[in-house]
Amino acid sequence: MTRFAPILVAALLLSAPAFGQSQPGAPPAGAPEIQAPVPEVGAGRGGQPGGQVPDSTIVGDTPTGTQPSPAAEAVTDPQPRQPSFVPPTPAPFSDRGQLSAEEMELQAALRGERIGGRITIPDRQAATLIQPEGRDWRDFHNRTLTWVGGVAVLGMLAILVLFFLVKGRMTVAAGPAGRTIQRFNLFERVAHWMTASSFIVLALSGLNLTFGRFLLLPIIGPEAFTAVSLWGKIAHNYLAFPFTLGIVLMFLVWVRDNIPDRLDLAWFKAGGGFIGKGHPDAKRFNAGQKLVFWITVLGGTVVAISGYVLIFPFAVTDMSGQQLAHTVHGLLSVLMIAVMLGHIYIGSLGMKGAFDAMGSGQVDLNWAKEHHSLWVEEELEKARTTVAGPAGARPLGAD
Protein backbone atom coordinates (compact mmCIF):
# COMPACT_ATOMS: atom_id res chain seq x y z
CA MET A 1 0.00 0.00 0.00
CA THR A 2 2.74 2.43 0.91
CA ARG A 3 4.28 1.92 -2.47
CA PHE A 4 1.25 3.50 -4.09
CA ALA A 5 1.04 6.46 -1.76
CA PRO A 6 3.11 8.82 -4.00
CA ILE A 7 0.93 7.91 -6.96
CA LEU A 8 -2.18 8.66 -4.95
CA VAL A 9 -0.83 12.01 -3.87
CA ALA A 10 0.11 12.81 -7.46
CA ALA A 11 -3.34 11.88 -8.62
CA LEU A 12 -4.88 14.09 -5.99
CA LEU A 13 -2.64 16.96 -7.01
CA LEU A 14 -3.55 16.52 -10.63
CA SER A 15 -7.22 16.53 -9.93
CA ALA A 16 -6.97 19.36 -7.49
CA PRO A 17 -7.41 22.40 -9.75
CA ALA A 18 -10.61 21.11 -11.22
CA PHE A 19 -12.18 20.44 -7.89
CA GLY A 20 -10.58 23.34 -6.16
CA GLN A 21 -12.11 25.92 -8.47
CA SER A 22 -15.57 24.62 -8.19
CA GLN A 23 -15.32 23.91 -4.51
CA PRO A 24 -14.11 27.03 -2.79
CA GLY A 25 -14.38 25.29 0.49
CA ALA A 26 -18.00 24.39 0.99
CA PRO A 27 -19.11 21.12 -0.50
CA PRO A 28 -22.69 20.36 0.37
CA ALA A 29 -23.64 18.30 3.32
CA GLY A 30 -23.62 14.61 2.85
CA ALA A 31 -20.60 14.54 0.60
CA PRO A 32 -18.73 11.32 1.07
CA GLU A 33 -15.65 11.30 3.23
CA ILE A 34 -13.46 10.42 0.29
CA GLN A 35 -14.08 13.81 -1.30
CA ALA A 36 -12.91 15.67 1.72
CA PRO A 37 -9.19 15.96 1.07
CA VAL A 38 -9.64 17.18 -2.43
CA PRO A 39 -10.93 20.71 -1.85
CA GLU A 40 -8.37 21.05 0.87
CA VAL A 41 -5.53 20.21 -1.49
CA GLY A 42 -6.85 22.69 -3.98
CA ALA A 43 -7.10 25.35 -1.36
CA GLY A 44 -3.59 24.65 -0.22
CA ARG A 45 -2.20 24.99 -3.71
CA GLY A 46 -4.10 28.15 -4.35
CA GLY A 47 -3.31 29.84 -1.09
CA GLN A 48 0.21 28.83 -0.24
CA PRO A 49 2.40 29.01 -3.32
CA GLY A 50 5.34 27.14 -1.91
CA GLY A 51 3.27 24.93 0.32
CA GLN A 52 3.17 21.21 0.29
CA VAL A 53 0.13 19.11 0.84
CA PRO A 54 -1.20 20.06 4.24
CA ASP A 55 -0.68 17.62 7.06
CA SER A 56 -3.19 14.90 7.45
CA THR A 57 -4.87 16.23 10.57
CA ILE A 58 -6.07 19.36 8.84
CA VAL A 59 -7.20 17.44 5.82
CA GLY A 60 -9.09 15.07 7.98
CA ASP A 61 -10.36 17.72 10.40
CA THR A 62 -12.11 20.00 7.99
CA PRO A 63 -13.54 17.52 5.61
CA THR A 64 -16.64 19.24 4.37
CA GLY A 65 -16.84 22.52 6.15
CA THR A 66 -20.16 21.57 7.59
CA GLN A 67 -18.99 20.08 10.84
CA PRO A 68 -15.90 21.97 11.89
CA SER A 69 -14.51 20.83 15.18
CA PRO A 70 -15.06 23.49 17.84
CA ALA A 71 -11.44 23.32 18.89
CA ALA A 72 -10.09 24.06 15.45
CA GLU A 73 -12.54 26.91 15.12
CA ALA A 74 -11.37 28.48 18.31
CA VAL A 75 -7.66 28.30 17.51
CA THR A 76 -7.68 29.60 13.97
CA ASP A 77 -9.23 32.74 12.61
CA PRO A 78 -12.72 32.52 11.06
CA GLN A 79 -11.64 31.53 7.58
CA PRO A 80 -8.35 29.78 7.99
CA ARG A 81 -8.42 27.69 4.86
CA GLN A 82 -9.84 30.25 2.48
CA PRO A 83 -7.48 30.48 -0.48
CA SER A 84 -6.30 33.92 -1.43
CA PHE A 85 -7.30 33.14 -5.00
CA VAL A 86 -11.09 33.07 -5.02
CA PRO A 87 -12.39 31.94 -8.37
CA PRO A 88 -15.19 34.03 -9.82
CA THR A 89 -18.51 32.74 -8.68
CA PRO A 90 -19.35 30.16 -11.28
CA ALA A 91 -22.65 30.35 -13.08
CA PRO A 92 -25.20 28.52 -11.04
CA PHE A 93 -25.43 24.84 -11.70
CA SER A 94 -22.12 24.28 -13.36
CA ASP A 95 -18.58 23.37 -12.63
CA ARG A 96 -15.19 24.69 -13.74
CA GLY A 97 -16.70 28.10 -14.28
CA GLN A 98 -18.33 26.86 -17.47
CA LEU A 99 -21.76 27.83 -18.59
CA SER A 100 -24.49 25.40 -17.79
CA ALA A 101 -26.31 23.56 -20.53
CA GLU A 102 -29.40 25.67 -20.15
CA GLU A 103 -27.42 28.90 -20.25
CA MET A 104 -25.59 27.82 -23.42
CA GLU A 105 -28.84 26.85 -25.09
CA LEU A 106 -30.46 30.15 -24.17
CA GLN A 107 -27.51 32.15 -25.46
CA ALA A 108 -27.29 30.13 -28.65
CA ALA A 109 -30.99 30.65 -29.24
CA LEU A 110 -30.72 34.39 -28.65
CA ARG A 111 -27.64 34.84 -30.83
CA GLY A 112 -28.80 32.48 -33.51
CA GLU A 113 -25.73 30.34 -32.99
CA ARG A 114 -25.20 26.62 -32.84
CA ILE A 115 -23.59 24.63 -30.07
CA GLY A 116 -21.13 22.21 -31.54
CA GLY A 117 -17.71 20.73 -31.29
CA ARG A 118 -15.72 17.79 -32.50
CA ILE A 119 -17.09 14.49 -33.63
CA THR A 120 -15.40 11.26 -34.61
CA ILE A 121 -17.83 10.16 -37.31
CA PRO A 122 -17.04 11.52 -40.79
CA ASP A 123 -20.06 13.80 -41.03
CA ARG A 124 -19.55 17.51 -40.57
CA GLN A 125 -23.21 18.14 -39.87
CA ALA A 126 -23.18 15.72 -36.95
CA ALA A 127 -20.70 17.92 -35.07
CA THR A 128 -23.51 20.33 -34.31
CA LEU A 129 -24.95 19.46 -30.94
CA ILE A 130 -27.86 21.84 -30.71
CA GLN A 131 -29.10 24.31 -33.30
CA PRO A 132 -31.90 26.36 -31.78
CA GLU A 133 -32.30 28.25 -35.06
CA GLY A 134 -34.23 25.26 -36.38
CA ARG A 135 -37.06 26.86 -34.44
CA ASP A 136 -36.90 29.99 -36.60
CA TRP A 137 -36.96 27.90 -39.73
CA ARG A 138 -39.93 25.97 -38.41
CA ASP A 139 -41.66 29.25 -37.75
CA PHE A 140 -40.92 30.40 -41.26
CA HIS A 141 -42.10 27.18 -42.83
CA ASN A 142 -45.24 26.76 -40.79
CA ARG A 143 -46.31 30.34 -40.36
CA THR A 144 -44.64 32.85 -42.67
CA LEU A 145 -44.53 30.74 -45.80
CA THR A 146 -48.04 29.43 -45.31
CA TRP A 147 -49.42 32.92 -44.85
CA VAL A 148 -47.43 34.63 -47.56
CA GLY A 149 -48.10 31.79 -49.98
CA GLY A 150 -51.76 31.57 -49.12
CA VAL A 151 -52.36 35.30 -49.36
CA ALA A 152 -50.32 35.68 -52.55
CA VAL A 153 -51.87 32.79 -54.46
CA LEU A 154 -55.44 33.10 -53.22
CA GLY A 155 -55.26 36.90 -53.35
CA MET A 156 -54.13 36.83 -56.95
CA LEU A 157 -56.85 34.33 -57.84
CA ALA A 158 -59.44 36.55 -56.17
CA ILE A 159 -58.19 39.61 -58.04
CA LEU A 160 -58.34 37.75 -61.33
CA VAL A 161 -61.85 36.47 -60.73
CA LEU A 162 -62.95 39.96 -59.75
CA PHE A 163 -61.26 41.40 -62.80
CA PHE A 164 -62.93 38.90 -65.08
CA LEU A 165 -66.34 39.61 -63.55
CA VAL A 166 -65.93 43.37 -63.89
CA LYS A 167 -64.13 43.72 -67.21
CA GLY A 168 -64.87 40.44 -68.84
CA ARG A 169 -62.77 39.13 -71.66
CA MET A 170 -60.90 41.75 -73.59
CA THR A 171 -61.52 41.69 -77.31
CA VAL A 172 -59.89 43.28 -80.29
CA ALA A 173 -61.70 46.60 -80.72
CA ALA A 174 -61.39 46.66 -84.50
CA GLY A 175 -62.48 43.06 -84.82
CA PRO A 176 -60.36 40.32 -86.33
CA ALA A 177 -58.49 41.35 -89.45
CA GLY A 178 -58.37 37.84 -90.78
CA ARG A 179 -54.72 38.29 -91.68
CA THR A 180 -52.04 37.23 -89.27
CA ILE A 181 -48.50 38.21 -88.47
CA GLN A 182 -45.86 35.99 -86.91
CA ARG A 183 -45.13 36.98 -83.36
CA PHE A 184 -43.06 34.10 -81.97
CA ASN A 185 -41.15 31.54 -84.00
CA LEU A 186 -40.98 27.86 -83.16
CA PHE A 187 -37.77 28.15 -81.15
CA GLU A 188 -39.22 30.88 -78.97
CA ARG A 189 -42.39 28.93 -78.39
CA VAL A 190 -40.49 25.77 -77.50
CA ALA A 191 -38.37 27.69 -75.00
CA HIS A 192 -41.48 29.25 -73.52
CA TRP A 193 -43.46 26.04 -73.18
CA MET A 194 -40.55 24.07 -71.82
CA THR A 195 -40.22 26.62 -69.04
CA ALA A 196 -43.96 26.94 -68.58
CA SER A 197 -44.75 23.24 -68.39
CA SER A 198 -41.94 22.52 -65.96
CA PHE A 199 -42.94 25.58 -63.95
CA ILE A 200 -46.49 24.32 -63.57
CA VAL A 201 -45.35 20.93 -62.26
CA LEU A 202 -42.70 22.57 -60.06
CA ALA A 203 -45.27 24.99 -58.69
CA LEU A 204 -47.88 22.34 -57.97
CA SER A 205 -45.43 19.93 -56.35
CA GLY A 206 -43.95 22.82 -54.38
CA LEU A 207 -47.31 24.08 -53.19
CA ASN A 208 -48.15 20.51 -52.27
CA LEU A 209 -45.24 20.42 -49.82
CA THR A 210 -46.53 23.49 -48.02
CA PHE A 211 -50.29 23.21 -48.34
CA GLY A 212 -50.90 19.59 -49.33
CA ARG A 213 -51.23 18.24 -45.84
CA PHE A 214 -54.00 20.68 -45.06
CA LEU A 215 -55.81 20.49 -48.38
CA LEU A 216 -55.05 17.19 -50.08
CA LEU A 217 -54.12 14.81 -47.26
CA PRO A 218 -57.54 14.81 -45.58
CA ILE A 219 -59.20 14.09 -48.93
CA ILE A 220 -57.09 11.33 -50.43
CA GLY A 221 -55.65 9.76 -47.28
CA PRO A 222 -52.05 9.31 -46.11
CA GLU A 223 -50.93 6.53 -48.48
CA ALA A 224 -52.16 8.20 -51.66
CA PHE A 225 -50.87 11.55 -50.45
CA THR A 226 -47.42 10.12 -49.84
CA ALA A 227 -47.42 8.61 -53.34
CA VAL A 228 -48.39 11.96 -54.83
CA SER A 229 -45.82 13.84 -52.76
CA LEU A 230 -43.06 11.35 -53.48
CA TRP A 231 -43.61 11.58 -57.24
CA GLY A 232 -43.93 15.30 -56.82
CA LYS A 233 -40.55 15.42 -55.14
CA ILE A 234 -38.92 13.36 -57.88
CA ALA A 235 -40.54 15.50 -60.57
CA HIS A 236 -39.52 18.64 -58.72
CA ASN A 237 -35.90 17.49 -58.66
CA TYR A 238 -35.74 16.54 -62.32
CA LEU A 239 -37.80 19.35 -63.84
CA ALA A 240 -35.48 21.86 -62.20
CA PHE A 241 -33.14 21.28 -65.15
CA PRO A 242 -35.47 21.98 -68.10
CA PHE A 243 -36.82 24.94 -66.14
CA THR A 244 -33.35 26.41 -65.76
CA LEU A 245 -32.51 25.76 -69.39
CA GLY A 246 -35.77 27.44 -70.44
CA ILE A 247 -34.96 30.49 -68.32
CA VAL A 248 -31.55 30.78 -70.01
CA LEU A 249 -32.99 30.36 -73.51
CA MET A 250 -35.78 32.86 -72.96
CA PHE A 251 -33.31 35.34 -71.59
CA LEU A 252 -31.08 34.97 -74.65
CA VAL A 253 -33.80 35.29 -77.29
CA TRP A 254 -35.83 38.06 -75.67
CA VAL A 255 -33.45 40.20 -73.66
CA ARG A 256 -32.80 42.73 -76.43
CA ASP A 257 -36.52 43.46 -76.76
CA ASN A 258 -36.93 43.78 -73.01
CA ILE A 259 -34.55 46.61 -72.20
CA PRO A 260 -36.66 49.20 -70.35
CA ASP A 261 -37.07 52.49 -72.19
CA ARG A 262 -39.10 55.69 -72.08
CA LEU A 263 -42.13 54.14 -73.71
CA ASP A 264 -42.58 51.95 -70.67
CA LEU A 265 -43.16 54.95 -68.42
CA ALA A 266 -45.86 56.20 -70.72
CA TRP A 267 -47.34 52.74 -70.82
CA PHE A 268 -47.54 52.54 -67.05
CA LYS A 269 -48.95 56.09 -66.84
CA ALA A 270 -51.72 55.12 -69.21
CA GLY A 271 -52.48 52.15 -66.99
CA GLY A 272 -51.41 49.73 -69.69
CA GLY A 273 -53.81 48.26 -72.15
CA PHE A 274 -55.53 46.38 -69.41
CA ILE A 275 -56.60 48.72 -66.66
CA GLY A 276 -56.68 52.01 -68.53
CA LYS A 277 -58.58 52.86 -71.67
CA GLY A 278 -57.11 52.58 -75.13
CA HIS A 279 -53.77 51.08 -75.94
CA PRO A 280 -50.54 52.95 -75.37
CA ASP A 281 -47.86 52.49 -78.02
CA ALA A 282 -45.58 49.56 -77.48
CA LYS A 283 -42.77 47.88 -79.30
CA ARG A 284 -42.38 44.13 -79.33
CA PHE A 285 -42.97 43.92 -75.60
CA ASN A 286 -44.95 46.42 -73.59
CA ALA A 287 -43.93 47.45 -70.08
CA GLY A 288 -46.13 44.84 -68.44
CA GLN A 289 -44.58 42.07 -70.49
CA LYS A 290 -41.13 43.40 -69.73
CA LEU A 291 -41.99 43.23 -66.06
CA VAL A 292 -43.07 39.61 -66.41
CA PHE A 293 -39.90 38.89 -68.36
CA TRP A 294 -37.60 40.33 -65.71
CA ILE A 295 -39.53 38.72 -62.85
CA THR A 296 -39.21 35.39 -64.63
CA VAL A 297 -35.55 35.74 -65.51
CA LEU A 298 -34.31 37.25 -62.26
CA GLY A 299 -36.72 35.49 -59.93
CA GLY A 300 -36.30 32.24 -61.82
CA THR A 301 -32.54 32.48 -61.55
CA VAL A 302 -32.61 33.02 -57.81
CA VAL A 303 -35.22 30.28 -57.33
CA ALA A 304 -33.12 27.94 -59.47
CA ILE A 305 -29.89 28.68 -57.62
CA SER A 306 -31.50 28.27 -54.20
CA GLY A 307 -33.16 25.13 -55.52
CA TYR A 308 -29.85 23.61 -56.55
CA VAL A 309 -28.50 24.36 -53.09
CA LEU A 310 -31.43 22.37 -51.70
CA ILE A 311 -31.17 19.57 -54.23
CA PHE A 312 -27.56 18.88 -53.26
CA PRO A 313 -27.90 19.28 -49.50
CA PHE A 314 -24.84 20.57 -47.66
CA ALA A 315 -22.69 20.42 -50.79
CA VAL A 316 -21.90 24.13 -50.76
CA THR A 317 -23.23 25.41 -47.47
CA ASP A 318 -24.03 24.50 -43.88
CA MET A 319 -27.23 24.28 -41.91
CA SER A 320 -27.98 27.99 -41.78
CA GLY A 321 -27.23 28.22 -45.50
CA GLN A 322 -29.65 25.41 -46.23
CA GLN A 323 -32.32 27.06 -44.13
CA LEU A 324 -31.71 30.38 -45.86
CA ALA A 325 -31.86 28.71 -49.26
CA HIS A 326 -35.19 27.19 -48.38
CA THR A 327 -36.51 30.52 -47.10
CA VAL A 328 -35.53 32.32 -50.30
CA HIS A 329 -36.73 29.47 -52.49
CA GLY A 330 -40.10 29.21 -50.78
CA LEU A 331 -40.92 32.90 -50.56
CA LEU A 332 -39.81 33.77 -54.07
CA SER A 333 -41.58 30.76 -55.51
CA VAL A 334 -44.99 31.58 -54.07
CA LEU A 335 -44.63 35.17 -55.24
CA MET A 336 -43.68 33.99 -58.72
CA ILE A 337 -46.62 31.63 -58.75
CA ALA A 338 -48.89 34.58 -58.01
CA VAL A 339 -47.34 36.62 -60.83
CA MET A 340 -47.56 33.70 -63.23
CA LEU A 341 -51.24 33.23 -62.42
CA GLY A 342 -51.75 36.76 -63.68
CA HIS A 343 -49.63 36.00 -66.74
CA ILE A 344 -51.62 32.85 -67.48
CA TYR A 345 -54.90 34.71 -67.10
CA ILE A 346 -53.97 37.48 -69.53
CA GLY A 347 -52.54 35.00 -71.99
CA SER A 348 -55.61 32.81 -72.06
CA LEU A 349 -58.97 33.74 -70.59
CA GLY A 350 -58.38 37.43 -70.07
CA MET A 351 -57.67 38.51 -73.62
CA LYS A 352 -58.99 37.28 -76.89
CA GLY A 353 -56.29 36.65 -79.45
CA ALA A 354 -53.41 36.66 -76.98
CA PHE A 355 -52.98 32.93 -76.74
CA ASP A 356 -52.26 32.59 -80.46
CA ALA A 357 -48.92 34.33 -79.92
CA MET A 358 -47.64 31.35 -77.98
CA GLY A 359 -50.01 28.84 -79.58
CA SER A 360 -49.54 28.97 -83.31
CA GLY A 361 -47.15 31.89 -83.16
CA GLN A 362 -49.39 33.81 -85.57
CA VAL A 363 -51.43 36.67 -84.15
CA ASP A 364 -54.24 38.59 -85.77
CA LEU A 365 -52.96 41.75 -87.40
CA ASN A 366 -55.53 43.96 -85.67
CA TRP A 367 -54.65 42.52 -82.28
CA ALA A 368 -51.01 43.19 -82.98
CA LYS A 369 -51.73 46.74 -84.10
CA GLU A 370 -53.66 47.46 -80.91
CA HIS A 371 -51.19 46.02 -78.49
CA HIS A 372 -47.84 46.42 -80.20
CA SER A 373 -48.33 49.26 -82.66
CA LEU A 374 -44.68 50.18 -83.02
CA TRP A 375 -43.61 46.57 -83.39
CA VAL A 376 -46.13 45.99 -86.20
CA GLU A 377 -44.87 49.08 -88.01
CA GLU A 378 -41.31 47.82 -87.68
CA GLU A 379 -42.27 44.38 -88.94
CA LEU A 380 -44.24 45.78 -91.86
CA GLU A 381 -41.36 48.05 -92.75
CA LYS A 382 -39.02 45.09 -92.69
CA ALA A 383 -41.40 43.11 -94.85
CA ARG A 384 -41.64 45.95 -97.37
CA THR A 385 -37.87 46.23 -97.75
CA THR A 386 -37.64 42.48 -98.10
CA VAL A 387 -40.26 42.47 -100.83
CA ALA A 388 -38.89 45.57 -102.53
CA GLY A 389 -35.36 44.37 -102.23
CA PRO A 390 -32.37 46.62 -101.65
CA ALA A 391 -32.45 50.07 -103.22
CA GLY A 392 -31.67 49.97 -106.89
CA ALA A 393 -32.45 46.31 -107.27
CA ARG A 394 -34.82 45.39 -109.98
CA PRO A 395 -36.97 42.31 -110.26
CA LEU A 396 -35.42 39.50 -112.20
CA GLY A 397 -36.14 39.63 -115.89
CA ALA A 398 -37.55 43.13 -115.73
CA ASP A 399 -35.34 44.41 -118.45
What is the closest distance, in whole angstroms, from the C-beta atom of residue 111 to other proteins in the complex?
Answer: 14
In one letter, which amino acid is 192? H
Question: Which C-beta is closer to other proteins: that of 238 or that of 294?
Answer: 238
Question: Which C-beta is closer to other proteins: that of 139 or that of 378?
Answer: 139
What is the closest distance, in whole angstroms, from the C-beta atom of residue 248 to other proteins in the complex?
Answer: 20
Question: Which C-beta is closer to other proteins: that of 224 or that of 298?
Answer: 224
Q: In Å, what is the CA distance from 32 to each residue of 19, 24, 29, 64?
A: 14, 17, 9, 9
Q: In Å, what is the CA distance from 95 to each residue of 23, 29, 89, 160, 185?
A: 9, 17, 10, 64, 75
**Looking at beta carbons, which pairs linking 159-163 to residues 24 or more positions away fall under 8 Å?**
159/342, 160/341, 160/342, 160/345, 160/350, 163/345, 163/350
Question: Which C-beta is closer to other proteins: that of 22 or that of 373?
Answer: 22
What is the closest distance, in whole angstroms, from the C-beta atom of residue 125 to other proteins in the complex?
Answer: 6
Q: In Å, what is the CA distance from 161 to each residue of 33, 144, 165, 169, 345?
A: 83, 25, 6, 11, 10
Q: Which residues contact 335 (CB under 8 A, 6 or more apart)?
A: 148, 152, 299
- Site of interaction with other proteins (CB under 8 A): 22-23, 27-28, 30-32, 35, 93-98, 100-103, 105-106, 109, 115-121, 123, 125-132, 134-135, 137-138, 141-142, 208-210, 212-213, 217, 222-223, 225-226, 229-230, 233, 237-238, 311-315, 319, 322-323, 326
What is the closest distance, in whole angstroms, from the C-beta atom of residue 300 to other proteins in the complex?
Answer: 19
Question: Which C-beta is closer to other proteins: that of 106 or that of 298?
Answer: 106
**Residue 130 backbone dihedrals phi, psi, to 5 degrees:** -135, 130
What is the closest distance, in whole angstroms, from the C-beta atom of residue 143 to other proteins in the complex?
Answer: 10
What is the closest distance, in whole angstroms, from the C-beta atom of residue 256 to other proteins in the complex?
Answer: 35
Terminal Cα-to-Cα distance of the chain (whole angstroms): 131
